[in-house]
Amino acid sequence: MAAPAVLSLRPAMEEDRSRLANLLHFETYVHRHLDWRQPLDWLGQDPYFVLETGERLSAALACQPDPPGVAWVRIFAVATRLDPAEAWTNLWPHARDSLVKLGVGSVAAIPLQDWFVKILSKSRFQHVQNVVVLEWAGKEKYQSETGNLWNLRRMEKADLEQVHKVDESAFAPLWQNSLEAIKKAYEQSGFASLIETEGKVIAYQISTRSSQGLHLARLATHPEFQGRGLGTALVKDIQVQASRNQDRLTVNTQDTNTPSLRLYQKMGFKHTGDRFPVYEYQLA
């Protein structure tokens, strides 16, 4: 009888790039976080571990904190020859210890496959909420509008530091974006706009464009200016763009985010029925 394969664990290195790409693109058991960055962009940032079986790369786990204090499971990929639960059992304790040393308070994941849901549940990740998807299929000819005190305009690169400050103030830590993530989002956007007053950014949205249409990826209003219709004005502006190009328009938000759900439903968005669970593990 052949001896069982010996697994060895080590940090991922730049030299692993091509083998990691193969693991991510050609294997069955692959979790990829919906992120502004590509999975291989995280190489060189901890924690990022791989498992090897002899000369072969068998699994990888990456869950870098960004912004500091909160981490997401960015990548968990396992070769078909290895049981995913076994791979996780080998990788997760080392990633968890690294996150504790980095001062991270919680780590979260949005598992899209049942096999990963089972692994997370057995590791004491808690199902805390769901991300739900809504779609606007209206053809109303909205006109963009804001109050006399506000100026709605296209976002520019020079605005990103102020946009980040709005983002940081408007979201709970788990859902905040770092400045680097905001920059990546802007670079990949199809339509990004903001509202300012006296040169200060107070609300913004970033939408992506694909063959499926427009997707409202990010919308935030500074807490001091919430409840004044700024979110409504930004959404109307996106609907103008969607109507002009006959685009499908989608958005997703947490099922616990009552203000956002109320806004989107008021603006004619309907639930698609798609929902994705959010699991969280408390480190501190």
| pLDDT, tens only, 108-137 | 999 999 999 999 999 999 999 999 999 997
Residue 85, H or E segment = helix 84-101
Q: What confidence tier does 139 reach under pLDDT thresholds 50, 70, 90?
A: low
Q: What confidence tier does 2 reach under pLDDT thresholds 50, 70, 90?
A: very low
The more confident residue out of 117 and 146 is 117
Instruction: Report which residue type is found at 60.
Output: A
Helices (H) and strands (E) in the chain, counts: 7, 14
Instruction: Report which residue type is found at 155.
Output: M
Residue at 158 is within a domain:
yes
- pLDDT attached to residue 228: 94
Domain match, 223 and 151 both: yes
Count: domains in the chain:
2
Residue at 282 is within a domain:
no
Any idea which of 70-74, 138-142, 183-187, 253-257 has the lowest mean pLDDT?
A: 138-142
Domain match, 229 and 150 both: yes
Domain endpoint, select from 65, 94, 124 = 124
Structural domain harbouring 222: 133-276
Domain match, 44 and 83 both: yes
Find the farthest-apart pair of alpha carbons in the chain and give their distance in angstroms, rounded: 80
CATH of the domain at 234: 3.40.630.30
Q: 50 is written with which tokens?
A: 């791989």
Task: Answer whether residue 251 shows pLDDT above 90.
Answer: yes
Tell me whether residue 44 is exposed, middle or buried, using C-beta atoms within 10 angstroms of its C-beta: 0 to 12, 13 to 18, 19 or more: exposed
Task: Answer whether residue 154 shows pLDDT above 70.
Answer: yes
Residue at 172 is within a domain:
yes
SS3 assignment, position 192:
strand
Domain match, 256 and 208 both: yes
Going across the sheet that includes 29-32, the strands are 7-11, 48-53, 56-62, 75-78, 29-32
Q: What confidence tier does 205 reach under pLDDT thresholds 50, 70, 90?
A: very high
Entry pTM: 0.92
Task: For helices 84-101 and 114-122, give the axis angle rounded to 10 degrees.
Answer: 50
